[in-house]
Structure formats: structure tokens, C-alpha cells
């Protein structure tokens, strides 16, 4: 059925109005999106984000939820610990800070350890083998320095030097002194 020329004009005008309406809707949506973005960006501007995260303790977990490291301040200001554990849950690296000083402890298989201590009495280094109860210790204090070698829990060799004197002593497995200098 043929459409009259008036109807053709009306259809053309209606199509033009619909195109304009779609353009206005798209424009309004773009303006609303931009305004919303500005509001969100204003809330998250650089100066407003937190600069410090505070907690009494933090736990780092692996993908299975097992704790692999802790940062723990529950001992108060006089005792703060940071421990990293192995797959079995044993501490392998420990950093401890106290009022009196700090300790760094590294542990290997069989609980063999190397520890570095810095305290008010002075710094010290300790290497330990717990299965034999063996230890090498080196320490420095205000009055001098000392080195000890121990096995089976007994000091076998001790060397000291400082303001109170110098000396070396050697003991047997029972802890009995077998030689020293000065005598």
C-alpha cells in the first residue's frame, strides 16, 4: 500500500527525533559516567590513602592457608619478633628485638643454628649443633673478648683477652682443666 507524502514526512521526522533522542541519552550517560569517576577519584586522591597499616601481629600464609611467616608485637614494646618458617612449621629465620638488644637466628636441618646477638653487654656470635651439644661462641664485652669451643655441653677451649688479663684454657671431656696459660 502506497504511503502518502505527508506520512513520509512524518516518518522521516520521527526517525530524526529518535536519532536525536539516542544521541542525548548517550551524551547524558557519558556525562554521568565522567561525573561519577570524578567523585570516586576525589575520594581516593593521593593524600588521603593511609600511609601506615597498624596491627599487633601479622601472619603471612601460603596458598593452602599455612602460616609461613609472622611479625609479632604481642610481647609489647620490649619484645618484637619476625619469624620465617619452613614447610614443617619450624622457625628457620628469626629476628628478635628487645629492650636490651637484638638477635638474628638462622636455623638449618637438625636445628643447627647460627645466632648473632647484640645486647647492652656487647655483641656475640654463636654456632650450635644441638645433637652433639656443640658450640662455638665469640663475644665482645666492655672488659674484653672471649672465644669458647664446646662439645657435649662442656667447654673444651676458652680464650680471653681484655683489661682483666689474657689467657687460654683447655679442659677434658669431663670439664677438668688440663692446661692453661698463664698458669
For 64, the grid coordinates are 593452602
Asked if residue 37 belongs to a domain, the reply is yes
For 36: left if phi > 0, alpha if psi spans -120 to 50, otherwise beta; the answer is alpha
Counting residues of the chain whose pLDDT is more than 90, the rounded percentage is 32
For residues 73 and 59, what is the distance between their CA atoms, to the nearest angstrom? 12
Per residue in 69-120, pLDDT tens?
999 888 877 888 999 998 788 888 999 998 889 999 999 887 789 999 999 8
In 3D, which of 123, 170, 113, 129 has the Cα closest to residue 145?
A: 123
* Residues of the domain holding 26: 5-48
Residue of 75, 72, 66 lying closest to 94 (CA atoms):
72
Give the pLDDT band (50/70/90) at residue 30.
confident
Which residue from 165, 116, 164, 108 is spatially nearest to 136, judged by alpha carbons? 116
In a domain, 95, yes or no: no
Contacts of 85 (CB under 8 A, 6+ apart): 67, 68, 69, 91, 92
Q: Is residue 107 part of a domain?
A: no
64-72 mean pLDDT: 89
Query: How far is the first Cα of the chain from the last one, in angstroms, to the nearest whole number?
Result: 132
Report yes or no on 28 lying in a domain. Answer: yes
Q: What per-residue confidence (pLDDT) applies to 159?
A: 94
Q: How many domains does the chain have?
A: 2
Amino acid at each position: 500500500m502506497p504511503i502518502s507524502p505527508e506520512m513520509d514526512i512524518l516518518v522521516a521526522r520521527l526517525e530524526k527525533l529518535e536519532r536525536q533522542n539516542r544521541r542525548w541519552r548517550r551524551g547524558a550517560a557519558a556525562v554521568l559516567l565522567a561525573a561519577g569517576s570524578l567523585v570516586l577519584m576525589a575520594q581516593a586522591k593521593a593524600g588521603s590513602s593511609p600511609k601506615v597499616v597498624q596491627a599487633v601481629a601479622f601472619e603471612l600464609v601460603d596458598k593452602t592457608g599455612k602460616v609461613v611467616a609472622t611479625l609479632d608485637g604481642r610481647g609489647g614494646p620490649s619484645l618484637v619478633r619476625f619469624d620465617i618458617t619452613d614447610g614443617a612449621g619450624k622457625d628457620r629465620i628469626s629476628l628478635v628485638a628487645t629492650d636490651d638488644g637484638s638477635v638474628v637466628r638462622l636455623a638449618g636441618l637438625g636445628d643447627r643454628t647460627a645466632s648473632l646477638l647484640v645486647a647492652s653487654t656487647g655483641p656475640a656470635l654463636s654456632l650450635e649443633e644441638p645433637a652433639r651439644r656443640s658450640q662455638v661462641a665469640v663475644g665482645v664485652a666492655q672488659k674484653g673478648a672471649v672465644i669458647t669451643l664446646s662439645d657435649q655441653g662442656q667447654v673444651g677451649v676458652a680464650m680471653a683477652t681484655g683489661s682483666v688479663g689474657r689467657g687460654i684454657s683447655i679442659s677434658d671431656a669431663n670439664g677438668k682443666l688440663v692446661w692453661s696459660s698463664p698458669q
